[in-house]
Amino acid sequence: MMAFIKNIEHEEIVRLADEISANTGQVVSKTLAQNSCVSITLFAFAKGEEIGTHDSAGDAMVTVIEGKGRFVVDGREYCLSAGETLVMPARKPHSVHAEDAFKMLLTVVFPRNDSET
């Protein structure tokens, strides 16, 4: 049987924050699903780390699962705490900053390719 979601136990209750960690100086990612329609990735940021400004072909939804993260979307700053979610629209430049260590779940939904069935 093919698994669409990987790198995480199936049919078990898990705490997402326990599935990933980052040491000093690291940003660590763990892909849970990836295809032409969607990408789901866990991230752990050590204090002071960041992902520089970039954009995405799809809408990017972040949910902070531990700590606090700062997100800059098209020049506007958002500070999110555990349990809070922000959608960063496709093609808008954005960056991620960890003033303190934090963890997040990133879900990106890409535009539909009509050649796929």
Domain ranges of the chain: 38-109
Q: What is the pLDDT of residues 2-22, one digit of tens each?
A: 789 999 999 999 999 999 999
φ/ψ bin of 35: left (φ > 0), alpha (ψ from -120 to 50), beta (otherwise)? beta
Is 80 in contact with 88 (CB distance < 8 Å)?
no
| Residue 97 structure tokens | 């900053």
Beta-carbon contacts of 31 under 8 Å, excluding residues fewer than 6 positions away, are 6, 7, 39, 40, 41
With 70 as the cut, is the pLDDT of residue 114 above it? no
pTM, two decimal places: 0.91
Tell me which fold the domain 38-109 belongs to: Jelly Rolls (2.60.120)
| DSSP classification of residue 4 | S
Residue 117 has pLDDT above 90, yes or no: no
- Quote the mean pLDDT of the chain: 94
Is pLDDT of 115 > 70? no
